[in-house]
Amino acid sequence: MTHAGVTVIFNPRAGGNKQRFLSEILQHAGVKVELLQTTHPGHARELARKVRAHQRLFVAGGDGSLNEALNGLLDAQIDGHEVPPLGIIPLGTANVLAVEVGLSLRAKAIASYINNPSMVWVRPGVVNGRAFFLMVGMGADADTVANVSLRLKRLIGKGAYILEGLRNIFFPRHRDFEVNIGRENYRVAGVVVTHAKHYGGAFVISPEASLTSNNLDVVLMPGNGIGALSRYGLALTLNRLHEQSDVSLVQTERVTITSHCGPAPLQIDGESAGKLPCEISLSPYPVRLMVPPAYADIHNADQSNPKQDGRPLLQIAAD
């Protein structure tokens, strides 16, 4: 593909090891980079909004940083601006988006991807005005994200979520949500609305979900208490959550969720953000996501999808 300038948004507070890893990646890539460093929460959103359309924008960070940048690109589109394609340099705790598109976590592989990405069109999800690539969760997973120790997260990464998740299993909060999908209503204790098949890293939560799909997958979990949450947690680690007899999976373009248990948190792309009630749908503003060529090849069939705003929802970059 024609090489454009490369802009990288990076959080310098990510830690020395991650800064060294980023330097190693960029050295292998051998490209001249404009490095934009964030200084406060929400800064990646502000920076992404100003990146010019002819650049290639990469976010060096985790799924939360990518979420901020995604929202910045949608802000710019709403203001009537063309926006650059968005890419991933995975430096986060779980890196679910990188796993979803099959991006290796090795420096040389990431460098090769920076130099030779393909592109797909993605319509992000939107919840209460905030865009997301991956998912929105309510219930035990949102409680875990909301209460995880940031200090412990810095020390042991994913382990902090596992410990907090176990605490939520053995000391569960009462959760009671009403989910409205079209004319159907569901009463559940946990729900994940996902645009991706992976969750928490490499775990498969909805095998048919796809970033390039014009649907969201709604995973409905009615069970509460130690027994049900333990069973769901184990099934997820075995990639069999969707096979549980009491778990339902519904595809839809729009869903509304209310709480019957008082204020309950949301997790959006792995970050705690807002509370119920919420309405979730797909954005009318697609973005170009830079992906490894193998991911784009697999999704070639999706090029027959209806167009959005005159643009295909999936497009392979021209060489």
Residue 260, domain member (yes or no)? yes
What is the per-residue pLDDT across 144-201, written as a single tens digit (0 to 9) for each? 887 676 676 667 666 766 776 777 776 778 899 999 999 999 999 999 999 999 998 8
What pLDDT was estimated at residue 162? 72
- Determine, yes or no, domain membership for 261: yes
What is the value of pTM for the model shown?
0.88
- pLDDT at position 189 is 95
Residues 185 and 158 in one domain: yes
Residues 43 and 161 reside in one and the same domain: no
**pLDDT tens profile 13-33:** 765 688 899 999 999 999 999
The alpha carbon of 285 is separated from its chain's Cα centroid by a whole number of angstroms, namely 16
The DSSP H or E segment spanning 228 is helix 225-237
Pick out the chain residues at pLDDT < 50.
1-2, 303-319
144, 117: one domain: no
CATH code, domain carrying 158: 2.60.200.40
Within-domain flag for 312: no
Q: Where are the alpha helices (DSSP H) in 261-314?
A: 293-298
Sheet holding 190-194, edge to edge: 248-252, 216-221, 190-194, 135-138, 265-268, 271-275
105 and 147 co-located in one domain = no
Q: Is 248 in contact with 186 (CB distance < 8 Å)? A: yes
Same domain, 28 and 151: no
Same domain, 185 and 292: no
What's the confidence (pLDDT) of residue 15?
58
Which residues pair with residue 12 across a beta bridge? none
Same domain, 141 and 269: yes
CB 145 within 8 A of CB 270: yes
Q: How many domains does the chain have?
A: 2
Residue 57 belongs to domain with CATH number: 3.40.50.10330
Domain that holds residue 225: 130-282
One domain for residues 234 and 294: no
What stretch of H or E contains 188? strand 184-188
Task: State the pLDDT at residue 14.
Answer: 63
pLDDT score recorded for residue 310: 35
pLDDT of residue 317: 35
